[in-house]
Amino acid sequence: MSKLDTFQLRKTIPSEEFDYTLLTDALSSYSGVRQKINELIKAGVIIRVKKGLYTFSPEYNQAPICKEVLANLIYGPSCISLEYALSYHRLIPERVEIITSVTPNRDKEFDTPLGQFNYRYLGAEKYPHGIEQIWVDPHHPILIASPEKAICDYIVLNKIRNDQNLDIQEFLESDLRIDRQKWKQFNPDVLRRLNKYYRNKNIERILEVL
Q: How many CA atoms lie within 13 A of 87 on its CB side?
A: 13
Domains of the chain, CATH where assigned: 3-60 (1.10.10), 67-209 (3.30.460)
pLDDT computed for residue 23 by the predictor: 95
Q: How many residues does the chain have?
A: 210
Cβ-proximal residues to 44 (8 Å cutoff; 6+ apart), any chain: 57, 59
CA angle at 118 for the pair 44 and 66, rounded to the nearest 5°: 45
What is the C-alpha to C-alpha distance for residues 144 and 100, in angstroms, rounded to an integer? 10
pLDDT computed for residue 163 by the predictor: 61
Measured N-to-C along each axis, helices 147-157 and 188-198 cross at an angle, to the nearest 10 degrees, of 40
Cβ atoms of 151 and 160 closer than 8 Å: no
pLDDT computed for residue 8 by the predictor: 84
Pairing of strands 115-121, 99-103: parallel
pLDDT computed for residue 168 by the predictor: 86
pLDDT computed for residue 1 by the predictor: 56
Consecutive 10-residue runs of the chain (210 residues): their mean pLDDT? 71 93 92 92 95 94 94 97 96 91 98 97 98 93 97 92 74 90 94 96 90
Estimate to the nearest angstrom the gap between the alpha carbon of 94 and the chain centroid.
16
What is the C-alpha to C-alpha distance for residues 28 and 92, in angstroms, rounded to an integer? 47
What is the C-alpha to C-alpha distance for residues 54 and 101, in angstroms, rounded to an integer? 20
